[in-house]
Amino acid sequence: MDNTPPPFFNRGPSPFVRIVVFTLFSTLFMVIDARQNYLEVIRQGVNIVLYPLQRLADAPFAIYHGLDDFFTTQTTLRQQNAALRSEQLRHSTRLQHIQALEAENAYLRQLTETRSRVDPQGVVAEVLSTSHDPFSRKILVAKGATQKITPGLAVVDKVGVVGQVTRVNPFTSEITLITDKGQAVPVEVVRNGLRAVVFGNGQDGTLNLPFFSTNADIVAGDVLVTSGIDGTYPAGLPVAVVSKVDRNSGTSFARITCTPTAGVHHHKQLLILTTPPQPKPLEPAPPSVPAAPPETAENGEN
């Protein structure tokens, strides 16, 4: 009687034999598949089965790369937007500067035309500052005694009279505007040649035209130009436009308000007329013919 216990595992063929058998089968299948392509259907089926597992295994990497691309794209877009905004701001600033230069050049051309019409001896002066005194209307320009500026010279812009030089320093000059309370400009009405004197009242944008009777021939809209009789302003320069005429029957004079033609606050450059207007020489009177001496009667007496 055999009392040997049965083996725990059936050992079967040895490992070497198994390796040799599996190697032969693998080689055979590879040769058959390479020549006849018999295993293509099996391979496709295996791919179909394993594809979800492959996608699931690749999902973490795909999510990582997607997030990385998203944040990289967002960062790049922000940088590009910042660069574009900065470039747009530079272009906008440059465009505004070019527009300002074009406007300034156009104004200077008009000022040059005014100089050629009025007086060839004129100096273009840049406005530096305005007076801080609320009771005076004065400005400071960047031309002075070194440019042969003297007190009393007339100052104009492209449209009319601005004021008069009242103080001169070596490199700057003070100009008192026609709206200052101490300024007076002889004018005449273009429509009818009526002469008067317009005075500043210390306020920007208004002038007074006093001493006109209530029945004077002057109406709103009349244009006032320099008459040239003061020897400071050339004749014919626009000064103001009559804006309001108040004829009160209880007073002897009409109350006339005018609006200055020139706008000193709108421009940076003014024109100083360095040569004061010369009065026209009087025409010489025709020479007088001496009267013939009276004839003496001859007497026949000796």
In this prediction, residues 269-291 reach a mean pLDDT of 59
* Of the ranges 17-21, 256-260, 284-288, the best mean pLDDT one: 256-260
Residue 75, φ and ψ in degrees, nearest 5: -65, -45
In this prediction, residues 207-233 reach a mean pLDDT of 88
Cβ of 77: how many Cβ atoms within 10 Å? 10
pLDDT at 52: 81
pLDDT at 1: 52
Q: Give the pLDDT band (50/70/90) at residue 242.
A: very high
Cβ of 189: how many Cβ atoms within 10 Å? 20
pLDDT at 213: 86
In this prediction, residues 55-75 reach a mean pLDDT of 78
Tell me: the pLDDT tens digits for 152-178? 999 988 888 999 999 999 999 999 999
Residue closest to 166 by CA, chosen among 178, 186, 179, 150: 150
CA dihedral 239, 243, 249, 252 (to 10 degrees): -10
Tell me: the pLDDT tens digits for 177-196? 999 988 999 999 998 889 99
Q: Which one of 3.40.720.10, 2.40.10.340, 3.40.50.10490, 3.20.20.70 gives the CATH number of domain 121-273?
A: 2.40.10.340
Residue 71 parent element (H or E): helix 40-118
Tell me: the pLDDT tens digits for 89-127? 777 667 766 765 666 666 566 666 655 555 447 888 888
- pTM for this entry: 0.55
pLDDT at 114: 58
Q: What share of the chain has pLDDT > 70, as a percent? A: 75
pLDDT at 302: 42
Could you state, in order of their start, the residue ranges of all structural domains in the chain?
13-118, 121-273
- Work out the burial of residue 163: count CB atoms within 10 Å of its CB; fewer than 13 is exposed, 13-18 middle, 19 or more buried: buried
Contacts of 261 (CB under 8 A, 6+ apart): 159, 160, 161, 238, 239, 240, 241
Distance CA 215, CA 299 (A): 70
**Token pair recorded at residue 300:** 């026949």
Distance CA 107, CA 102 (A): 9
* Of the ranges 10-14, 200-204, 275-279, the best mean pLDDT one: 200-204
Q: Give the pLDDT band (50/70/90) at residue 25.
A: confident
pLDDT at 172: 93
pLDDT at 289 exceeding the cut of 50: no
pLDDT at 232: 84
